[in-house]
Amino acid sequence: MSHEAMKLALEALEEITDEVFSPYDNKLGEAIIALREALAEQPYEIGTRLAREGKGISDLWGAVKSDADMAEAQRGYEAALAEQPAQQEPVKYEFQVPDGTWHPFLDKKHYENTVKDGSWPIRALYTSPQPAQRTWVGLTPEELDEMFSKTLKGKKLVNWVAQAIEAKLRSKNNG
């Protein structure tokens, strides 16, 4: 049963028991308790969620109840971080003013207030430029003529032509 389906079932059961039954003295009550437990976020999932949200590991302390839960949450946190591709950290951020020029933030509070306000464009600056897209190198008409004459000379199939073209392009594009 999906998480959303469990939530809907729990809501329906709670509504029925409020109107008709006491929730803890029958099978409906047992079902409600089982659904609540199934829907409760476990420490490992708390850790993975916080990592994916970009929270720091110190945020785990307020999200779990015990040292054992903390250890499990840390495992989830570290597993989620390992799944994410390594990213270069920005060295600083700038904001853009109406005339189109970019300016550095005065301090962390200035940055946080600008992010919260949301009315100014912000860009991140990195220590090294991001990798540029390589320019694709195509085949010249002479190379195409050569490929077709070699491939079709022995009455080979058309897919061989495609393979020959692909091999030539791969060699021209360092691959």
Angstrom distance (rounded) from CA 168 to CA 175: 10
Q: List the alpha helices (DSSP H) in the chain.
A: 3-19, 27-39, 43-52, 67-83, 108-117, 141-152, 158-172
Give the HSE-up count for residue 56: Cα atoms under 13 Å, Cβ half-sphere.
3
Asked whether the CA dihedral 8, 14, 18, 22 is positive or negative, the reply is positive
Mean pLDDT of 45-57: 82
More confident site: 27 or 133: 27
Q: Whole-structure pTM over 0.75, yes or no?
A: no
Q: At what angle do helices 43-52 and 67-83 cross, to 10 degrees?
A: 40
Q: What is the pLDDT of residue 174?
A: 66
More confident site: 105 or 4: 105
Q: What is the pLDDT of residue 104?
A: 92
More confident site: 85 or 50: 50
Q: What is the mean pLDDT of the chain?
A: 75
Q: What is the pLDDT of residue 130?
A: 55
pLDDT higher than threshold 60 for residue 43: yes
pLDDT higher than threshold 60 for residue 157: no
Mean pLDDT of 28-57: 78
**Residues whose CB is less than 8 angstroms from the CB of residue 36 and which lie 6 or more positions away in sequence, other chains included:** 10
* 124: three-class secondary structure by DSSP: strand
Mean pLDDT of 6-35: 70
Condensed to tens digits (0 to 9), the pLDDT of residues 57-102 reads 777 777 777 778 888 888 888 888 778 766 667 788 898 888 888 8
Range ranked top by mean pLDDT from 20-29, 38-47, 94-103, 127-136: 94-103
Condensed to tens digits (0 to 9), the pLDDT of residues 11-22 reads 887 777 665 555
